Amino acid sequence: MAAPLITPSPAVRRARGAVFALFFTNGALFANIIPRYPEIKDTFALSDFWYGATIALFPLGAICSGPFAARLIRRITSARTATMGTVGIGVSLTMVGAITVWRASMGGAAATAGGGSPWSQGMAAVVAYVLFGVVYFAGGAFDSLTDVGQNAHGLRVQRSYGRSIISSFHGGWSLGAVTGGLMGVAATQAGLPLGWHLMAAAILFIVVGAVAYRFTLPGSDDGRPEGGVDAAAAHADAVGAAEVRSGGAAGPAETGVGTLRLSPTLVVALLTVMALAGGLIEDAASTWSTLYMRDELGVVGGMAGLAYVTLLASQTAGRLSADRVVDALGPRNTLFIGGALITVSTGVAVLWPSVASTLVGMVLAGVGCASIVPLAMNAADDIPGLPAGSGLTVVTWLMRLSFLLSPPLVGLVVQATSLRAAMAVIPIAGLLTLATAWVLAPRARARSGGRTPDLRPAARL
């Protein structure tokens, strides 16, 4: 029998908007700095390897803080974790901008763009680089807490909705990243100092995140209300007031992405590779596409950031419609089609490089990768044989490995060859998507609408 359709209460609908806003701010904060990566590379006089290693400090911070996310969520709730992380990212990026401006004011080695090791420069320049690394690392640590917190809260809202809405939240991240990327392009074109640019962006999106927090679901993430009778009443209104249109109690709904009945360890491994593939696409676009457009294809000024913005724009469109596509095609077929789009379009762009082929490849890759990470996280949230939420914590944390390892490794390859090697990562990620999509069940499956992930430590695997 078909699962009953659930009408969410007004409080749950407001919570959906709040989670969308948190995803939006997370994407916008991060993306503001990406069009200015070439400026940072030139200012600190970094070689391709050292540039990649420096960018990898952000995901390194994320990996270091990731294991503490579940504990923090249990202590202060997922909504507070996501909001606190948003503030931390904003403050960290503001300091990144100020330190970069300070380093640029020193002159000297900064004039030799792409020179080499940061340790071969003067003492003041080394101090500036170390401070940059510390605050950039901290930004990544806060980003990981935000990521796990907003995904956990989004999945909680999804269970109250009784249908899949997780892709729309990731669409909010992509929309925020497009917004932030365009802000970065405009700031670069206008010659706005990096420090003022990032501080203004941080203030704006911290305010958005703080307002969004007021409309998140009340109560703790294990289903228990906080703050006594008044909070209990609010919690009941938000979570328990969902009405079934057929007139009965809220029952199971088609919100779960199932996996084949395999060893839980194997399923987690395959979903991790799948999420890594999605991460590699975003990382290659964010870390290298602006440099590729500027240094390989001759695009000047802020317009060099258009490759990244183009991928994000098409990814946004794909994610905002992905839930309906997954309902129509099923999770597995959605990824098979997406993986093929990524592989073919960006493969052609790498073999026959031009501005036109690169931008077309980015458009199709953005559509193709739209569902990879949301489907991997949705499937990881409820793997049979594992404590609820453990798979999500593990896959989210390990996905950060792609952001940590790929910049310095790709930097070494680029240094030995050319920037085309960096862009070749994207069709390889498309092949990884095709190789792992089979682990998903052909169709979404029913699961209880009232369960909340327990977010116990991933070490239980």
Segment 149-168, tens digit of pLDDT: 998 899 899 888 877 787 78
Predicted local confidence at residue 96, as pLDDT: 96
Please answer whether residues 205 and 28 qualify as being in contact, where contact means their C-beta atoms are separated by less than 8 angstroms.
Answer: yes
pTM score of the predicted model: 0.75
- Select, from the ranges 81-90, 318-327, 365-374, the one with the highest average predicted confidence (pLDDT): 81-90
Residue 410 in any domain: the answer is yes
pLDDT at residue 389 above 80?
Answer: no
The rounded distance, in Å, linking the Cα atoms of 439 and 143 is 29
- Select, from the ranges 30-39, 137-146, 174-183, 217-226, the one with the highest average predicted confidence (pLDDT): 137-146
**Which of 11 and 405 is assigned the larger pLDDT?**
11
pLDDT at residue 136 above 50?
Answer: yes
**Which of 72 and 403 is assigned the larger pLDDT?**
72
The kind and range of the H/E element at 249 are none
* Burial call 425-453: b when 16+ CB within 10 Å, e when fewer: bbbbbbebbbebbebbbeebebbebeebb
Give mean pLDDT, residues 78-86: 95
Give mean pLDDT, residues 241-253: 35
Predicted local confidence at residue 445, as pLDDT: 56
Predicted local confidence at residue 222, as pLDDT: 67
Question: What stretches of 187-273 adopt beta strand conformation (E)?
Answer: 243-244, 253-256
Please answer whether residues 157 and 12 qualify as being in contact, where contact means their C-beta atoms are separated by less than 8 angstroms.
Answer: yes
Bridge partner list, 244 = 6
Residue 79 in any domain: the answer is yes
pLDDT at residue 237 above 60?
Answer: no
pLDDT at residue 214 above 60?
Answer: yes
* Total structural domains within the chain: 1
pLDDT at residue 135 above 60?
Answer: yes
Phi then psi dihedrals of residue 78, to 5 deg: -65, -40
Predicted local confidence at residue 404, as pLDDT: 79
CA–CA–CA angle 444, 323, 283 (5° rounding):
105
pLDDT at residue 16 above 80?
Answer: yes
pLDDT in tens, 426-451: 999 999 999 999 999 887 655 444 44
Q: Per-residue confidence at 337, pLDDT binned at 50, 70, 90?
A: very high
Predicted local confidence at residue 454, as pLDDT: 40
pLDDT at residue 23 above 70?
Answer: yes
pLDDT at residue 236 above 50?
Answer: no
Give mean pLDDT, residues 314-341: 88
Mean per-residue pLDDT of the chain: 82
Among 131-140, 251-260, 418-427, the range scoring the smallest mean pLDDT is 251-260
User: CA-CA distances (angstroms) from residue 39 to 100, 128, 304?
Assistant: 9, 15, 12
pLDDT at residue 206 above 90?
Answer: yes
pLDDT at residue 244 above 50?
Answer: no
Choose among 2, 26, 75, 55: nearest CA to 288. 55
Residue 229 in any domain: the answer is yes
Predicted local confidence at residue 360, as pLDDT: 95
Give mean pLDDT, residues 16-39: 93
Phi then psi dihedrals of residue 445, to 5 deg: -120, 160
CATH code of the domain containing 30: 1.20.1250.20
The rounded distance, in Å, linking the Cα atoms of 56 and 54 is 5
Q: Per-residue confidence at 385, pLDDT binned at 50, 70, 90?
A: confident
Give mean pLDDT, residues 46-62: 89
Predicted local confidence at residue 209, as pLDDT: 96
The rounded distance, in Å, linking the Cα atoms of 370 and 297 is 26
Q: What would the two tokens of residue 89 be?
A: 């990212």
Residue 96 in any domain: the answer is yes
pLDDT in tens, 276-320: 999 889 888 888 888 899 888 988 777 888 888 899 889 888 888
The kind and range of the H/E element at 7 are strand 6-7
Predicted local confidence at residue 229, as pLDDT: 36
Q: Which domain holds residue 211?
A: 6-460
Bridge partner list, 374 = none
Predicted local confidence at residue 396, as pLDDT: 75
Predicted local confidence at residue 108, as pLDDT: 61
The rounded distance, in Å, linking the Cα atoms of 45 and 37 is 12
Residue 1 in any domain: the answer is no
